[in-house]
Amino acid sequence: MIMLEQVTFTYPEATSPVLVDVDLHVPEGELCLVTGVTGAGKSTLLGLVNGLVPHFTGGRLQGRVTVDGADTRTHPPRELAHLVGVVGQDPLAGFVTDTVEEELAYAMEQLAVKPAAMRKRVEETLDLLGIADLRHRPLRSLSGGQQQRVAIGAALTCQPRVLVLDEPTSALDPTAAEDVLAALTRLVHDLGVTVLVAEHRLERVIQYADRLVLLPGDGQLRHGAPEQLLATSPVAPPVTQLGRMAGWSPPPRSVRDARRQAGPLRQRLAASAPPPTPPPRQSPPVLTARQVTVRYGATVAVAGVDLDLAVGQVVALMGRNGSGKSSLLWALQGAGPRHAGQVRVRGVDPARLPAHQARRYVGLVPQTPADLLYLPTVAAECAQADQESGATGGTCRQLLDQLLPQVPTDRHPADLSEGQRLALVLAITLTAAPTVVLLDEPTRGLDYRAKERFGAVVRRLAHTGRAVVVSTHDVEFVAAYADRVVLLADGEVVADGPTSEVVAASAAFAPQVAKVLAPQPWLTVAQVAAALATEPVTTPGAA
């Protein structure tokens, strides 16, 4: 269905090609998962399929890309619209109309589908994706998962043979992501649509994939059956890492696969236990919040939350989209609204301080770090940060180098990678030396490697005498790096306790390792590896 033959692609003004002499054939009806490190060309590969690359982006394409026999060289994206449906990362940015029904019909209108047929297909699509009750709703009023399903529906109404999705679940909470993925697998199984999907968080999609495409970052491309590639892949979901460590062959892709092979491993681990979580230090809390309430008009976003933060702790703030995580963080910092309750940081209320003093108590890295950046180079941003924090020159740059070495000084912040930009904004925030550091969804858009590095940074912040709060949907990240989890629902705290207790007990939020090894209380591959390393070698094949 999709054929790439000896494709080399170079972006305009780039010195080296993103993809070099790449071959790929995706047969009809497959779900093909594309993964790799940031900047390895995932988006480029997806764009090649419907001709957005190079028709829209510019650049030099060598080789041949065909979809169902149509060469993208001679067919611009609009001429392939009936063949390839595209769903972007941010569904809201791609919406042309403003209600669900009209959005579903938009592409068909462009293709001049007959009104009667259009009407019928819209109804079918509404049912297929389970969004019939949303049909008249304004698109902007939908939740992230609903928006993503509408975007998929809008691509489907033209009955394309191929569906291309770029990180469709990156902004979604685990449950909404499941909804979207369930819709996708249904398309593959029922309609025989060929699906090409890029995703950082392999653990979400890999179990559904028929084929895995790995972009290691050197312009090459490896593809094949997931089991085969996962055995050696540098990026792998925790469940596969666990399997590789335990010597299972083929390495498992889903919790179910792993669980069926995990019996012996559970026996081996029965004797040992994960290192006990260090008891919460008896240090007095550095931040106390009592009955914090935030509302927007009639909607109550945060409803009377009590929270104590102690130095040296990494707290994960979890909860579905719209549960009030961001509002809480902003209220704690003092920059966002707070309608009732009080916040004390080392005895003062940051909301009552002028902004430049408040940030010495509480630093916040917002969901879109780019909102803080406005100067043309990294160096200028750093110099400005030193100046506005009253720090000695070079402080910010030094912090940045500690967080992430080798961020190019003369680069425009907009041209940095996601991880680099996050590090820059974090460095700017830390220049003011806040005691409490709040991070609003920092892990989205980070690949495995960047996430690991970022996790280490978070731990180091806690060790150097700060209280850290990370709001995130990423359960694997929480399991690996957080000491304590606070779970929000509808603006209220529904659970607050050590990570092992809160996360392991939850169906939606349990990390893969916990699911595989339940009822034993393991959370991460690293814990299991450490336990296996200290154990006397009795079974052959143990790593």
- Stretch 387-406 residues interacting with other proteins (CB under 8 A): 388-389
Q: Using CB under 8 A, which residues numbered 198 to 237 contact other proteins?
A: none
Q: Verify binding: residue 345, other proteins, rule CB under 8 A.
A: no
Nearer to other proteins among residue 353 and residue 495 (C-beta): 353
Does 385 engage in binding with other proteins (CB under 8 A)?
A: yes
Handedness of CA 53, 54, 55, 58 (dihedral sign): positive
Least separation in angstroms between residue 388's CB and other proteins is 4
**Could you say which residues in the range 410-439 bind other proteins, by CB under 8 A?**
414, 418, 428-429, 432
* Closer residue to other proteins in complex, CB, 75/484: 75
228 within 8 A of 50, measured Cβ to Cβ: no
Which residue in the set 150, 158, 305, 436 belongs to the binding site for other proteins (CB under 8 A)? 158
Binding mask 281-300 for other proteins (x = CB under 8 A): --------------xxxxx-
Give whole-number Cα distances, 409 to 41, 69, 107, 424, in Å: 24, 46, 44, 11
Under the binding rule (CB under 8 A), the answer on residue 271 touching other proteins is no
Taking a C-beta distance cutoff of 8 angstroms, is the pair 407, 400 a contact?
yes
Establish if 6 lies at the interface with other proteins (CB under 8 A). Answer: no
d(CA 277, CA 272): 15
Q: How far is the CB of 349 from other proteins (least distance, A)?
A: 15
In whole angstroms, the minimum distance from the beta carbon of 144 to other proteins comes to 5
Which 456-515 positions form the footprint of other proteins (CB under 8 A)? none
Tokens of 172: 């979604």
DSSP lists the bridge partners of residue 493 as: 488
> What are the angstrom distances between the C-alpha of 99 and each of 105, 137, 320?
10, 6, 24
Q: Give the number of other CB atoms < 10 A from CB of residue 77.
A: 17
Q: Tell me the C-alpha distance between 302 and 220, whole Å.
A: 48
Confirm or reject binding of residue 444 to other proteins (CB under 8 A): yes
User: Could you say which of 21, 68, 79, 308 contacts other proteins (CB under 8 A)?
Assistant: 79
Among 233, 293, 313, 333, binds other proteins (CB under 8 A): 333
Q: Which of residues 350-369 bind other proteins (CB under 8 A)?
A: 354-356, 358-359, 363-364, 366-368
As measured in angstroms, the least distance from the Cβ of 387 to other proteins is 9
Nearer Cβ to other proteins (115/541): 115
**Least distance from C-beta 99 to other proteins, angstroms?**
9
CB of 50 to other proteins, least distance (A): 5
List the x/- string, 88-127, binding to other proteins by CB under 8 A.
xxx-xxxxxxx--xx--xxxxxxxxxxx--xx--x-----
Task: Work out the widest C-alpha separation in the chain, in whole angstroms.
Answer: 72
- Beta-carbon contacts of residue 394 (< 8 Å; ≥ 6 apart): 386
Question: Does position 339 bind other proteins by CB under 8 A?
Answer: no
Question: Which of 25, 31, 1 is closest to 210 using CA atoms?
Answer: 31
The interaxial angle of helices 378-389 and 418-431, nearest 10 deg, is 20
- Looking at the Cβ atoms of 102 and 492, the one nearer to other proteins is 102
Whole-number minimum distance, CB 384 to other proteins, in Å?
8
23 binds other proteins (CB under 8 A): no
Q: 534-538 — which CB contacts under 8 Å span 24+ positions?
A: 534/272, 535/268, 535/271, 535/272, 538/268
CB 214 within 8 A of CB 184: no
